[in-house]
Amino acid sequence: MNTPLKPQQTSLPRWLHWLPFGPVPAMTAEQLALALNHYLIIDVRTPQEYQKSHIPGAISLPLHRLNHARISHLPSDKPVICICLSAHRSKPATRRFIKAGFDAKELQGGMLAWWKRELPLES
């Protein structure tokens, strides 16, 4: 007599949530440029990358320092846009914010897309 197999849990190990694979919600550089003041912009690049140039109003919060305690101290009245150089580090950061209850997206193409369109910068 065959007994039905129970489905296995498919939840990912915690460390896999930090991998830059798989889609997350995103917006284009043009869309963000038109609505900068409506978003909390989190730049997850290194402090050195951030200092060279960043999107006006962006907060530097490097991916390796992104944890629940730091996220919980951020304002939650605006949706979050996570930014990195090429939209690889921003994927796990976006997932982390979504898991913390934020409405979060990444900048599609990262700073490379922003620079290519010659959008505003601070340094």
pLDDT tens for 54-92 read: 999 999 999 999 999 999 999 999 999 999 999 999 999
pLDDT at residue 19 above 50?
A: yes
Helix, strand, coil shares, percent, the chain, to 5: 35, 15, 50
Q: At 26, which helix (H) or strand (E)?
A: strand 26-27
Q: Domains along the chain?
A: 23-116 (3.40.250.10)
Q: Catalytic: which of 29, 32, 84, 93?
A: 84
Q: Provide the pLDDT for residue 120.
A: 96
Alpha-helical regions (H) of 16-67:
29-34, 47-52
Tell me what the pLDDT averaged over the chain comes to. Answer: 88
For the segment 83-106, the average pLDDT, to the nearest whole number, is 95
Q: Provide the pLDDT for residue 7.
A: 38
Q: How many other CB atoms sit within 10 Å of the CB of residue 1? A: 2
pLDDT at residue 4 above 60?
A: no
**Does 84 participate in catalysis according to the annotation?**
yes
pLDDT at residue 8 above 90?
A: no
Q: Provide the pLDDT for residue 23.
A: 87
Residue 109 contacts residue 30 (beta carbons within 8 Å): no
Percent of the residues in the chain that have a pLDDT greater than 70, as a whole number:
83
